[in-house]
Amino acid sequence: MSFRDLVEEKGGSTEPLPEASFKSSGTMVNTVIVVIPA
């Protein structure tokens, strides 16, 4: 089972952050915020 499948199974979602959100730290990695309800 992938991480995304697990998040979806738990009723969660992923929210992409804007491109270059971590540019100031020297990385150009795109990332997301994972939200899983309690």
Q: What is the pLDDT of residues 16-31, one digit of tens each?
A: 999 999 999 998 899 9
Q: Give the tens place of pLDDT for each residue, 9-18.
A: 999 999 999 9
Q: How many domains are contained in the chain?
A: 1
Q: Look at strands 32-35 and 13-16 and give their pairing.
A: antiparallel
Place of tokens 């309690």: 38
Enclosing H/E stretch for 16:
strand 13-16
Residue 14 has what pLDDT? 96
Task: Look up the domain containing 19 and give its range.
Answer: 3-35
